[in-house]
Amino acid sequence: MSAGFDRLLEAVVRIDVRDVTFEPGARRFVAGVGSGVILSNDGLVLTNAHVASPYAVEISITLPSLESVGAKLVGWDHWTDLALIRIDLDEVRRRGLTFQPATFGDSGALFPGETVFAVGTPYGLTRTVTRGIISNNRRYFEDSEGVRGYETGTFNTWLQTDAAINPGNSGGPLVTEDGEVVGINSRGFVGADNLGFAIPSSIARRVVDELLAHGSVTRSYIGIVPRTLQNLEHFYALALNTGMLINSVDPGSPAAAAGLRSGDILLAIDGQKVDGRFPEQLPPIQNMIASLPVGSTVKLSVKRGAQAMEVPVVTEKLESRMGEEWAFDKWGLSVRKVSRTYARENQLDDDTGVIVIGVQPGFPAAVAGLASGDVITRVDQQPLKALDDLKRIYQAFDAKPSSLLLSTTRDRRVSLYVLKP
Amino acid sequence: MSRSYSIGGLTCGGGNRSGAAFRAVAAERVFPAEWSARRPLRLLTIGIVLVALGVPSALRAAKDLPELFAERVKSCVTVEFLIETELDRQPVTVLGTCVDSNGTIILPASAIGARVSVRQLKDFKVYRPDHATAYAAEYLGQDVLTGWHFVRAEAAVRAELVPLTAWVRRNTPDPCMADEVWSIGLRGKDEDFHPYFLMSRVGLIQPLPQMTAVAASEIGGPGLPVFNRAGALVGLTLNSFGQNFLLFSRRDRGLPVVLVNSDESSVFLFARDVLPYLGRIPRDVSGRPLPWLGTFGLEPVDPEVARFLHIENQSALVVSEVLENSPAEKAGLKGHDIIVSFDGKPLPRLRPEQVVETYLEREVDRHFPGDVLALTVLRDNRRLDLKVTLGEEPKIIREASRRYFERIGLTVREFLYGDGIARRVKIADQKGVIVDFVKPNSPAAVGELAGDDWIREIDGREVRTYADAVDALAAIEADPNRAEFVLLTSRGNETAVRRVKLK
């Protein structure tokens, strides 16, 4: 095709991952296959967060030469579904392996109808190239549990392509005819034909820098849920293309503390005007807020009825609704920490407790009567603040088993269970 | 353990406000569906054949049964009424039992749903078995303890009805396992409510918490008196329990289904849990006073937990939440408290465990607002004795004011105390109104409003009271030039702006 495309093929890898999973009430392992693209000569590989995550216990990369080599996670960002891993360079040197990095292009210059190629490992079929066009270069897609139950898509729009993207393509590059990487293929619509989504390279570059420097992307949170103004301008007496509707305000969030309410119109952020008429315009506005330093004061210009206000809001660190997961093997119980976000979503009083995500039949937790979805709030009448508290209780139980009284909440109903050795 | 017992939608007679549902474990059998549907007809056929051929002498012992049957049928009626909603009228047909010489009739709790307002109930009619004549009747209200709805038939028919108390025989023992029991089934309107005979034997007896028996097969229509072999009153049939079946079809290989016979029942309440309550005719149609404790989510403890708490041979209830400004709160009850005794009596160990919740509700319901009751709880491993003064239950859903706006396609009702509980809203913040009904394909439906949405603002103005909302919506409805309006509504934990386009 082109010299650039040939070079690109030399930079696409297959990624085999073994993940730990806690769902069945025990620590188990599952294997998965994805794709990735080599970024640099020092062995950095970009892939999806749903391919390589902190759940990975073993990552193996198959180079274009078909030689396999180990790799380690550098960092992940489920919000943009991106992860960075590094090839074991010692092993590469020891075995005399070679690879070369891909060249990145400008995703902002793409136009609908432009020919693009997806390269990856669909269903384990290494080095598969599929061809299509850019179907839409600014697709809005948000999923509150899209990446292993973690949120995704709030802060970015997506490239949509009809190049065939199948399971296993995840993490592979979407490239131009010149072999320049313009996106990272991430997801397709289940049951649809060739409706694939990729993260634009412009987003990926920023995330890669953060992951390389800090291992994660720190974002700010103020707790507003936006909605398009589409056709509501008249009701709010606004000029077209002005402002964004605050559809809801998370209870207990900085925005709520600052007095913001549902139905307020956000006109500007620190003096910079916002326009949230259409869905595609929301992620960039969300990203403006997310990009503010944590703990800083942001000045929101807000319209409420006929009244215009300047509202200072102090940002908090953005957290996922997913808390840390753990399995207590001898109890046959796996749990996830209640996060602030989970507590808020489920109208819990606070983030005390752990959510049962799995029980193994016949083990003490199941015998006691615990079931997935129960929130364990107290052990022996003492509130369970942190997951580490339960880990300590488990160790004590392991050393000297004795019955424990657990209090759980489910649909606001409090139940008691006795966990017996 | 506890979860496996509840089956959505199946309630065991009695307490109308309890969500407890039980499955009759002993009554699981498999019949071809077709057989049970045809059975009354077949019984009828057998009866005719026997008469024609002359009864063999071995069966002559049963000769008194037709006489007993013919007399006792006079206690049974079919009651028809309408539930009028925004768009249509739902006819309801239920069976009832006459309880006194004033033509008072009791209907099972399930006859009328908890959300139905008294104003929606119309055109009560009473039919005698084997008669096509409709007699007018008046709805008297629902009793909180038994859940029964009381209806009074017009004077013209009263002399034809015989109260079930006529069949009370002194020193009649409680039904025992394997006792023969029988009752009456009533066919539909097209067959002039023709009565038929059903008989079986008691298979299972259990306090739920009222003494309840499950017969080996159906013994009568739900809500009718039950008799022993000698014709003495021994109980009142409840709605039948669900039975487990596996469904085999071309597509399904053993799909588990629950079947409920809605025409006939095999379950009945003992007469001793029926007779003392026949006089509980509501003072007025509201059914008030309604005694109120004010707890949310009383969860039974299992035997393991009871042992752990050193309260063997009894049960206990964990209080999930204590409601704001309730008698329970005033008495000092707190969430996570474990109630071990009520009104001086330890909570009994009942099976399944959640029956004890119904037990406590009934203990509350047999009292009156203002009654002072003793309550013992475990809190932080200490035993605490509390005194609670029962209150009057705040306005319940069937009593709420509602208003339907035809052009918008929306019924709103006032915000109730119970709405505050469901939404975790403090009394001070309980403003606005609740969406009670959305007409399909109406402007409100297209505007994505749904039942139970909480309307907080109309056209940017806060809704403080029900009257506020009714005024604002009436003004919108009456304005022919109105093209649209905007509501701020909450659903679950999310608040959203919704636009309703009128043209």
Residue B258 DSSP SS3: strand
ipTM rounded to 2 decimals:
0.83
A81 has catalytic annotation:
yes
E strands present in B266-363: 267-270, 291-292, 295-300, 317-322, 338-342, 345-346
Nearest beta carbon to residue B301 from set A371, A381, A416: A416
Interface of A with B (CB under 8 A): 225, 227, 231-232, 235, 245, 247-249, 251, 262-263, 305, 344-347, 368-369, 371, 378, 381, 403, 405, 407, 409, 412-418, 420
Looking at beta carbons, which residues of chain A come within 8 Å of B498?
A: none
How far apart, in Å, are the Cα atoms of A267 and each of A236, A242, A270, A290? Answer: 12, 7, 10, 17
Interface test with B, best of A370, A375, A403, A418 (most B CBs within 10 A): A418
- CATH of the domain spanning A325-419: 2.30.42.10
Which residue blocks in A3-126 are alpha helix, DSSP H? Answer: 3-9, 89-95
Nearest beta carbon to residue B495 from set A262, A344, A413: A262
- Compare all CA atoms of chain B with the CA of A366 and give the residue at the minimum distance: B1
Q: Which two tokens stand for residue B73?
A: 């049928």
For residue A1, the tally of other CB atoms under 10 A from its CB is 12
Q: Residue B125's pLDDT is what? A: 98
Report yes or no: A326 and A357 within 8 Å, Cβ to Cβ: no
Residue B213: closest CA among B188, B234, B199:
B234
Looking at beta carbons, which residues of chain A come within 8 Å of B2?
A: 369, 415
Q: Residue B3's pLDDT is what? A: 32
Nearest-neighbour CA in chain A from B361: distance (Å): 16
Q: List pLDDT tens digits, range A309-351.
A: 999 999 999 999 999 999 999 999 999 999 998 998 888 888 9
- Compare all CA atoms of chain A with the CA of B495 and give the residue at the minimum distance: A248
Residue A125: closest CA among A164, A87, A92:
A164
CATH of A1-217, one of 2.60.120.560, 2.40.10.120, 3.40.250.10, 3.90.330.10: 2.40.10.120
Q: Residue B62's pLDDT is what? A: 59
Q: Do A251 and B493 touch (CB under 8 A)?
A: yes
Q: Residue A239's pLDDT is what? A: 86
Q: List pLDDT tens digits, range A49-88.
A: 999 999 999 999 999 999 999 999 999 999 999 999 999 9
Nearest beta carbon to residue B488 from set A225, A263, A371: A263
Q: Residue B277's pLDDT is what? A: 97
Mean pLDDT of chain A: 94
Bond into B222 cis (ω within 30): no
Q: Residue A238's pLDDT is what? A: 87
A234 has catalytic annotation:
no
Q: Do B493 and A262 touch (CB under 8 A)?
A: no
Q: Do A412 and B320 touch (CB under 8 A)?
A: yes
Q: Tell me, yes or no, if the two domains A220-317 and A325-419 fold the same way.
A: yes
Determine the distance from the C-alpha atom of residue B60 to the mean position of all C-alpha atoms in its chain, rounded to a whole number. Answer: 41
Residue A184: closest CA among A44, A262, A81:
A81
Q: Residue B10: CB partners within 8 Å, gap ≥ 6?
A: B21, B22, B23, B239, B241, B242, B258, B260
User: Given A35, A107, A170, A186, which residue is catalytic?
Assistant: A170
Half-sphere exposure (Cβ direction) of B257: Cα atoms closer than 13 Å: 13
Q: Residue B179's pLDDT is what? A: 97
Report yes or no: B189 and B127 within 8 Å, Cβ to Cβ: yes
Q: Residue A6's pLDDT is what? A: 94
Q: Do A416 and B335 touch (CB under 8 A)?
A: no
Q: Residue A346's pLDDT is what? A: 85
Residue B3: closest CA among A112, A216, A410:
A410
Nearest-neighbour CA in chain B from A396: distance (Å): 19
Q: Do B495 and A344 touch (CB under 8 A)?
A: no
Nearest-neighbour CA in chain A from B23: distance (Å): 20
Domain ranges of chain A: 1-217, 220-317, 325-419
Q: Residue A85's pLDDT is what? A: 98
Q: Do B484 and A235 touch (CB under 8 A)?
A: yes
* Paired residues of B89 in beta bridges: B84
Instruction: Give the whole-angstrom CA distance, residue B84 versus residue B96.
Output: 21
Residue stretches of chain B with pLDDT short of 70 = 1-63
Domains of chain B and CATH, by start? 1-287 (2.40.10.120), 291-392 (2.30.42.10), 400-501 (2.30.42.10)
Q: Do B297 and A412 touch (CB under 8 A)?
A: yes
Q: List pLDDT tens digits, range A144-153.
A: 889 999 999 9
Share in percent of chain A as helix, strand, coil (round to 5): 20, 40, 40
A19 has catalytic annotation:
no
Share of chain A above pLDDT 90, in %: 87
Instruction: Give the whole-angstrom CA distance, residue B425 versus residue A242.
Output: 34
- Compare all CA atoms of chain A with the CA of B3 and give the residue at the minimum distance: A369
Residue A111: pLDDT above 50?
yes
CATH of A220-317, one of 2.40.128.280, 2.30.42.10, 2.60.40.10, 3.90.25.10: 2.30.42.10
Backbone φ/ψ region at B325: left (φ over 0), alpha (ψ -120 to 50), beta: left
Q: Do B308 and A369 touch (CB under 8 A)?
A: no
Nearest-neighbour CA in chain B from A244: distance (Å): 12
Q: Do A368 and B304 touch (CB under 8 A)?
A: yes
Looking at beta carbons, which residues of chain B come within 8 Å of A371?
A: 3
Model confidence pTM above 0.90: no
Q: Do B318 and A414 touch (CB under 8 A)?
A: yes
pLDDT band at A191 (very low <50, low <70, confident <90, very high): confident
A–B CB contacts, 8 A cutoff, strictly below? 85
